[in-house]
Amino acid sequence: MSANQSDLRVGFVGLGIMGQAMAGHLLAAGHPLRIYNRTRSKGDALVERGAMWCDTPAEVAASSDVVITMVGFPSDVEQVWLGAEGILKTAQKAVLIDMSTSSPALAQELAAEALKRGCVALDAPVSGGDVGARDAKLSIMVGGDEAAFSRVLPVLQLMGTNIAHAGAAGAGQHTKMCNQVVIASTIMGVSEGLAYAKSAGLDPERVLQTIGSGAAGSFQLNVLGVRIVKGDFAPGFFIEHFLKDLGIALSEAERMGLELPGAGLARKLYEQLAARGLSRQGTQALYCHYVQE
């Protein structure tokens, strides 16, 4: 890798709600950037700013020192890494970073496959949603080779402020599961608290101002709670993706012999919202389970 970090050629695959902003920070820092997304139009703004469009993930990886993937589901990760036109077909001596939320087992598999091809893979899921991605303040949880982590840390620092090496391959994904388990019960509490405020005839904005600076304060309350009060259920993070995450977490918990009743209830409630056609709303739409707007 180049000694000058800004000379590192970076590839980015997956330009969704968070990926577009994350890739934009890399471009703004001066990195030569190659991009790919299934829907090409989502890359137009980055191309206008100087990014190079590629027609396949393999084309992205062929000329990149660092390749980042940020896609929705484990099946998408498998496709962009292991598919016929995946990044492992062409990557050479690169650090490959999956920043999607996926399964720990898949992260371990990708790390092994990358080594066979002379590359190093890191699993580096993130937390912070659209706001964290836009403001470059994501929390990034990294599993995999520590030396590779150190080499790409300056790149990760362009997208996040709380970046930690969690351990071997898969540890980043396990840490993200801890994050999602905590969020599951927290967003239920936020929704129930605001539903209570509405039923009691309180001013919900005043309630948020009052309790948001106390022990109840959190991102879920102080950011998503504000959106709930405004009736804004647009996605910073899709319900369908959170359901995927909860499925992974509960599956891992079952494998470990651990019961997670809060996460289990959250999944049940979100499944009910998905059945109502709300799977592409933001996770704060859980409030709609308690209060019919």
CA distance 261 to 256: 15
What pairing do the DSSP bridges indicate for beta strands 160-167 and 138-143? parallel
The 10 Å Cβ neighbour count of residue 15 is 27
- 68 contacts 44 by C-beta, under 8 angstroms: no
- 22 contacts 133 by C-beta, under 8 angstroms: yes
CA distance 239 to 274: 7
DSSP state of 38: S
Q: How far apart are the first and last CA of the chain?
A: 54
Helix (H, G, I), strand (E, B) or coil at 263: helix
Closest CA to 169 of 100, 120, 222: 120
CA torsion angle 236 124 56 62 (round to 10):
150
- 144 contacts 111 by C-beta, under 8 angstroms: yes
| Angstrom distances, CA of residue 127 to CA of 39, 81, 192 | 24, 22, 23
Cite the active site residues: 176
DSSP 146-168: HHHHHHHHHHHTTTEEEEEEEES
